[in-house]
Structures are given as structure tokens and as C-alpha cells.
């Protein structure tokens, strides 16, 4: 547990800032190759039906340039709609639409990154011929930085392409990129209110949150709106979000509930707040989101919020969590964290319980709380074969 890097920080350090996402400069760093040197005359002859020209292009369609791009990537980047249509029609069996280059761009991502709106529309329409799941997977593909086509369109402030994408896949909740930001978050942060309005009114449940627990929050459009009668979002950091939610702000509460519903959490929100010792936040989560069973939710290494409170020495938080666990229903199933006893005895992947953590950190107050809450526990050994007495 100790010394583990903050996931969001690791993501931020692993790439350039979002404003520079998937820069054309990066993509232009391509040495010439067969894909890049195809003359327009060859395309013209092939489109006119010249068999030799078609055969030559077919050979080139099987090759990649030095960045792993196909001819569909290069023509999409160049914005040549006629060439793109020809490639899709004539070489459909080569599945070039789904090919990724070395930086994991599709031809669609490449077109959007270079502002080729017409080509983007052609590629989206071509992918519609696939089964719906395949179509959605294609639109939701992330590049090396986990930027999807929509991330790139929002960053480039390409309103037309944003509209094409969200109308094509309105059920997408939108993933985070490696910077920890969703398309909606990027739009709000950048002040692209027209794009935020399109996403929020077209998509059924777009994720609003960003880095470090911050989130885009719906506010009424008052004096700082761009158009009368509309709605806007604003970015709130984590602490401001909780202050607003606790004060009764419905938008802030909804944003926190969305974070609580995340199924891909490296660390669920109750664990985050327990780790930081935020007693008011912990009480709010347990009270407002009681139906989400966050108390018994485990992170990726099978820790509960109590593990973190014990490890960090947050006695008051530990007391709140133990008290909340005392109201869990009894259960005979030891394989599930559904009862108070199972919660208190839950071991992480190293077989450490919350009590192990409290003892290791010499936190007498938390040790006493845990022993009094579960006096019948015989205490298991962890991976280092330490019982509590052997530590």
C-alpha cells in the first residue's frame, strides 16, 4: 500500500497536456514511403477503372508507412474524400477502416486530428455497415493516450464532428484518457459551451468527472451564459464538489453519484475519502449513497475503505466505518463481504486485514476499535506469515 503512485498523476506524467493531444506535428513526423508517395494520377486512373492502376493501389494497400499507417490513414489525413471513398469501396476486404497505426490512431482519429470533417463523416458512415457492437467499439477506440475520436474532436473544437460522433453513439458514457479527462470535462474546462451543450443533450449519460476527483457540474445559465435560456457546466474541484453537494446542490450531488457508480475505479470514492481522513465526506457518502454498497466495495487489490483508514491512522474515519458495518446484515457466506464480520476480516491480496494495518502502524486507538468490534476473530496470517502477535 505504501509508496504506490497516484494513478491520475502517473497518467498526467505519461503524456503531454491535453491541449496538445495528438498534435499534427507528431503525426507529420513520418518518413516517406510507398503509402505517402502515391500520385493523384494513379488514383484518378484507378477511379476511372484502369485495372493496372487498381492492381498497383491494391499492392500499396497491403503496405504500411514507417509509422504503421495504411493508405486509408494517409488519404484521411490529406482530406481527399474521393480517394477515401475509393479505398473503402475497392479494398473493403482488407479491413483498412479498423487498422491502427503505431500510435493507435484509426483513419477516423487521423482525419479528425487534421480537421477533415467530410472524410470523418465518410468513415463514420462506412463503419455503420458493421454490427452495432462493432460500430460502437470502433467509435470508442482510444489511441496511445486513450483519446477517442470524440476526445480529439472536442479538443480540436470541431463542432460538426462532435455532433456526428455523439449522434452516431448516444449511449456511450465516454471513457477517461490518460490525463484522466472525459470529452465532456475537456469541453467544459476549455469553455466550449456549444460542444458541452451538444454532448449533454444528445448523450444519455456522459461521464462528467476529471482528474483528482474534480467534475463538470451542471449550473443554471444566469449572467455568464453564452445564450439565453440554455444551461452551462462548470468545473469544481473535489473539495468544492463535496461542499456544494453537502449544502444541497443537486448538480454536485449528481456528479458525486456518477463517481460512486464508476465500475472501473482503481480506488472507489469512499476509499479515497477514508484515505484522506475526510470524515464529513465519508459520512456524506455513506448516507447519500447507502444503496450502492460502497462500504463493502473492494479496490483492485481487495482492500476496503477500512484498510485505508487503518493504514493512514484516521481513527475517526475508522470508527465511522466500523459503526456503519455494524448495521450490515449477518451472512453465512464468508466468500462475500456482506456482513460486519466479513467486512472487518476482509484481507487484501497480501492477506492483510485492517487490523494488520493498524498494528503495523502502531495505532492503538484503531486496534482497540477493531478488537472490540470483532472479539471472536482468531486473526489470520498475512503473506509474510505474520499474525498480529508475530508482527
Burial of 128 (0-12, 13-18, 19+ CB in 10 A): exposed
The per-residue pLDDT for 11 is: 37
The 10s digit of each residue's pLDDT in 275-306 is 999 999 999 999 999 999 999 999 989 999 99
Q: Is the pLDDT of residue 188 over 50?
A: yes
Specify whether the CB–CB gap between 305 and 267 falls below 8 A. no
Q: Does residue 218 sit in helix, strand or coil?
A: strand
Rounded Cα gap, residues 278 and 379, in angstroms:
29
Q: How many CB atoms lie within 10 A of CB 283?
A: 15
Q: Is the pLDDT of residue 334 over 80?
A: no
pTM for the full predicted model: 0.74
The 10s digit of each residue's pLDDT in 338-353 is 689 999 999 999 999 9
Amino acid at each position: 500500500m505504501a509508496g504506490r503512485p497516484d494513478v491520475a498523476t502517473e497518467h498526467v506524467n505519461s503524456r503531454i497536456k491535453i491541449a496538445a493531444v495528438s498534435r499534427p506535428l507528431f503525426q507529420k513526423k513520418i518518413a516517406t514511403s510507398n503509402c505517402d508517395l502515391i500520385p493523384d494520377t494513379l488514383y484518378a486512373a484507378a477511379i476511372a477503372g484502369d485495372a493496372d492502376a487498381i492492381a498497383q493501389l491494391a499492392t500499396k494497400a497491403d503496405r504500411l508507412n514507417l509509422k504503421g499507417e495504411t493508405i486509408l490513414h494517409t488519404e484521411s489525413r490529406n482530406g481527399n474524400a474521393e480517394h477515401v471513398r475509393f479505398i473503402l469501396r475497392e479494398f473493403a476486404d482488407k479491413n483498412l477502416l479498423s487498422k491502427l497505426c503505431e500510435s493507435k490512431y484509426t483513419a477516423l482519429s487521423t482525419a479528425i486530428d487534421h480537421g477533415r470533417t467530410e472524410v470523418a463523416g465518410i468513415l463514420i458512415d462506412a463503419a455503420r455497415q458493421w454490427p452495432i457492437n462493432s460500430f460502437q467499439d470502433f467509435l470508442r477506440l482510444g489511441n496511445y493516450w486513450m483519446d477517442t475520436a470524440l476526445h480529439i474532436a472536442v479538443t480540436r473544437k470541431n463542432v460538426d464532428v462532435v455532433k456526428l460522433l455523439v449522434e452516431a453513439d448516444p449511449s456511450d458514457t465516454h471513457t477517461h484518457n490518460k490525463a484522466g479527462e472525459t470529452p465532456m470535462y475537456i469541453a467544459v474546462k476549455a469553455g466550449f459551451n456549444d460542444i458541452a451543450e451538444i454532448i449533454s443533450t444528445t448523450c444519455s449519460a456522459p461521464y462528467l468527472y476529471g482528474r483528482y476527483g474534480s467534475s463538470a457540474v451542471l449550473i443554471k445559465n444566469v449572467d455568464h451564459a453564452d445564450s439565453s435560456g440554455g444551461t452551462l457546466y462548470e468545473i469544481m474541484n473535489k473539495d468544492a464538489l463535496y461542499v456544494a453537494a453537502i449544502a444541497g446542490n443537486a448538480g454536485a450531488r449528481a456528479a458525486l453519484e456518477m463517481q460512486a457508480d464508476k465500475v472501473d475505479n482503481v480506488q472507489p470514492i469512499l476509499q479515497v475519502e477514508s484515505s484522506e481522513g475526510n470524515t464529513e465526506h465519508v459520512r456524506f457518502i455513506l448516507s447519500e449513497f447507502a444503496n450502492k454498497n460502497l462500504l463493502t466495495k473492494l479496490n483492485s487489490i481487495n482492500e476496503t475503505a477500512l484498510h485505508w483508514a487503518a493504514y493512514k491512522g484516521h481513527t475517526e474515519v475508522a470508527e465511522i466505518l466500523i459503526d456503519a458495518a455494524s448495521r450490515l446484515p449477518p451472512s453465512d457466506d464468508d466468500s462475500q463481504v456482506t456482513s460486519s464480520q466479513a467486512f472487518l476480516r476482509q484481507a487484501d491480496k497480501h492477506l492483510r486485514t485492517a487490523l494488520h494495518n493498524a498494528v503495523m502502524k502502531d495505532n492503538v486507538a484503531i486496534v482497540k476499535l477493531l478488537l472490540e468490534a470483532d472479539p471472536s476473530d482468531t486473526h489470520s496470517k498475512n503473506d509474510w506469515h505474520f499474525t498480529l502477535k508475530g508482527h
